């Protein structure tokens, strides 16, 4: 394979990253739990350049309060045949102010998982990175037929 024929990875700007973040509602929250990384799916909304999500008191809550964390989302655009990934790294804080809590309530952030999730957390970012790249044909790696890229090559 000629290395020059490979499409380069496109680095996304923070604005492009937040545009993609705004198009999704579920991400993976990475936290440190007992000295090792752990990942939790979370429903979220983008609000004023930060990420807001709800949780109950538990591992996710305490880990997020104690250490920096990261949120990752990814996707695939069948029209362009390109995949993308966005990572937001930063610190989360508990929303306690009554006006800020009321504003968070107005975001209609409804968790998918049942249970009490009465605490709003706001992830403010230190770094946001993203990339977009052309995917390989699914037959190159014997990709299962349910892969989203399969539609492009039929």
Q: Predicted confidence band at 144 (pLDDT cuts at 50, 70, 90)?
A: low
pLDDT band per the 50, 70, 90 thresholds, residue 42: very high
pLDDT tops 70 at residue 110: yes
Which pLDDT score, from 0 to 100, does residue 1 have? 45
Among the ranges given (34-38, 55-59, 77-81), the one the predictor scored with the smallest mean pLDDT:
77-81
Burial class for 126, CB neighbours closer than 10 Å (0-12, 13-18, 19+): exposed
Residue 48: which pLDDT band, with cuts at 50, 70 and 90? confident
Structural domains for the chain: 3-153 (2.30.110.10)
């Amino acid at each position: 394979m000629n290395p020059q024929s490979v499409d380069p990875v496109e680095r996304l700007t923070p604005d492009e990253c937040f545009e993609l973040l705004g198009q999704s509602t579920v991400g993976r929250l990475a936290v440190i739990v007992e000295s090792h990384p752990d990942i939790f799916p979370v429903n979220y909304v983008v609000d004023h350049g930060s990420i807001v999500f709800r949780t109950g008191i538990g591992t996710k809550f305490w880990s997020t309060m104690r250490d920096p964390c990261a949120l990752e989302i990814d996707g695939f655009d069948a029209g362009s045949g390109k995949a993308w990934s966005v990572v937001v790294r930063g610190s989360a804080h508990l929303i306690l102010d009554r006006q800020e809590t009321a504003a968070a309530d107005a975001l209609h952030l409804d968790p998918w998982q049942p249970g009490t999730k009465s605490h709003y957390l706001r992830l403010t970012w230190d770094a946001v990175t993203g990339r977009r790249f052309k995917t390989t044909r699914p037959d190159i790696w014997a990709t299962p037929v349910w892969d989203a890229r399969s539609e492009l090559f039929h």
